[in-house]
Amino acid sequence: MQIHKKHIPLLTAALALVGTGGCGKSFLNQAPQNTLTSVDFKSASDAETAMVGAYSLMANSAYWYYAWNYLIDGDVRADNNYSGGSAPDIDGVDNFTSVATDYQPISEDWYELYMDIGACNMILDNVPNIQDPQLTSTRKAQILGEAKFLRAYHYSHLVRNYGAVVLQLHTITVDPNTLKSRSPVDSVYARIIQDLKDAEVSLPISYSDQASSHSRATQGAAEAVLAKVYAQIGDYQNCLTYCNKVLPQLYGGTGAAGYSLLSNYDWLFDSQHRNSAESIFELQHTEGTITHGYAQGLILPPSVQAQYWVKFAPPSHDLVKAFRTAGDSVRYASSITWEYNGPGTANPVSSPAHYGSTDTIPYVWKIGRNWPGAWSGGSGDNLVLLRLADIILLKAEALNTLGRTGDAIPLINAIRARVKLAPTTAVSQSDVALAILNERRLELAFEGERWFDLLRFGAQYTINLMNSQTDGNGMSLGYQVDAHRLLYPIPQNDRDNNPHLTQNQGY
């Protein structure tokens, strides 16, 4: 079954998991506000509707995590983007001054990811009890695997942003005695890993049509997230194992899904090659519908949406410099544009003057570029959340960390060859580690990965790197990062409503 957002209503039952929702609401003490009027979990059709609802809830641009906030968390917080625009809370992320009462993304990420988790929990709590013979045991297992994959994926984002989080594995009740404390990071990761392993054995390698094979959870998607999770916790032997389960034979793997790199890097983002062979998991957006990916338009210039937004998230001077230093004209052209309105058209200066004195302000070009220019309609660009190049470079990282540097270098070069760059000159383990870190930066810019790549490279390295950032004129940006800033604070609103929630140290 192909999953598109057009004409798919959000599942009422899933929305009910967050109560009335929105700014200022606490998620963790909210209970379902109505009975399951849209889905009562009696039939095979109910199970399918609930599963579609979980995907649709994740992709719906009224909820901003997978439309926009992931970029704030992974790129604005790192050295790839500035905040720009006129949003003090996002400035706080950029400048490392966030506080627990900030809404976007501090409270918003927490709220929305738990809302997505709640939709998965409703499926996992109710689908096993459906007795409809049209819901075969195989399909029932697949649905449960899809729900476990999504729940694990959402938790993987929560734990790397907040550290210890509440491990909510069932539908929330109104009983205040069920309010829970935060689970240790190790326990959260253990549940993520178990959910993904459960999903791996029940999910298909592919579905009957191309779009579903990339927009629904598959065995390869579960294995890709496992590889990323193991890397994040420093278990590179298991990371390598799961990279090889995803990768085709060309890259030393045993994957059967047929993933392959596109020959043209720009095809990943031009909206003409959706659900491609390089895509492992992507969110589907339909242009012009109310469930379009409109948040991507926040990064576009004021000329497109002047009446609504000042441009957000301009690429950083440091990232521009990195592309130029590498001579990486292919990925540079696909990722960043300086003259959106055509040659000779000056870009309005609506962002911090962090560039050189002769530079105008760049724009993110990689995502949301096919914005139609009307608020009632949105970009039809899909959002690729997992793709093969990420896993190839992750395998190189695992091999190098495990002392197999010679085996890692060809994988780096395979990524460089696609964008017409010469093989890396790095040879030593330490130099190859830096080469991989830089390659991932240029390959995955604006895809929400940079901050977490830096953390894997080392907490002190991240702190030193961010505190040394300068603008285009060589002036310090004045960041004052210390160890406690490596995690977000726990939202104060939820702490006010749940006495069991502790705060991250330093906030």
In a domain? residue 350? yes
In a domain? residue 96? no
In a domain? residue 229? no
For the four alpha carbons of 283, 318, 462 and 312, in that order, the dihedral sign comes to negative
pLDDT in tens, 190-221: 999 999 999 999 999 999 999 899 999 999 99
Q: How many CA atoms lie within 13 A of 52 on its CB side?
A: 21
Per-residue pLDDT at 322 exceeds 80: yes
Per-residue model confidence (pLDDT) at position 12: 38
Per-residue model confidence (pLDDT) at position 381: 78
Per-residue pLDDT at 184 exceeds 50: yes
Structurally, the chain folds into a number of domains equal to 1
pLDDT in tens, 463-501: 999 999 998 778 899 999 999 999 999 999 999 999 999
With the CA atoms of 248, 253, 255 and 257 taken in that order, what torsion angle do they form, in degrees rounded to the nearest 10? Answer: -20
Distance of CA 131 to CAs 1, 46, 120, 296, Å? 22, 12, 19, 42
In a domain? residue 339? yes
Q: Is 112 left (phi over 0), alpha (psi -120 to 50) or beta?
A: alpha
Per-residue pLDDT at 135 exceeds 60: yes
Specify whether the CB–CB gap between 321 and 359 falls below 8 A: no
Specify whether the CB–CB gap between 281 and 217 falls below 8 A: yes
Q: Is the pTM value of this prediction over 0.75?
A: yes
Per-residue model confidence (pLDDT) at position 88: 87
In a domain? residue 478? no
pLDDT in tens, 223-243: 999 999 999 999 999 999 999
Q: Of 71-80, 86-95, 281-290, 301-310, give the lowest mean pLDDT range.
A: 301-310
Per-residue model confidence (pLDDT) at position 157: 98
3-class DSSP assignment, residue 20: coil
Q: What is the DSSP code (8-state) at residue 184? A: P
Q: 87 versus 216: which is more confidently predicted?
A: 216
Per-position DSSP letters for 70-81, written without gaps between them = HHIIIIITTTSB
Domain residue limits at 309: 294-381
| pLDDT band of 182, cuts 50, 70, 90 | very high
Specify whether the CB–CB gap between 250 and 235 falls below 8 A: no
Q: Of 70-79, 343-352, 390-399, 437-446, give the lowest mean pLDDT range.
A: 343-352
In a domain? residue 312? yes
| pLDDT band of 173, cuts 50, 70, 90 | low
Q: Which two tokens stand for residue 430?
A: 């330490």
Per-residue pLDDT at 20 exceeds 80: no
In a domain? residue 205? no
In a domain? residue 62? no
Q: Beta strand pairing status for 363-364 and 383-387?
A: unpaired
| pLDDT band of 284, cuts 50, 70, 90 | confident
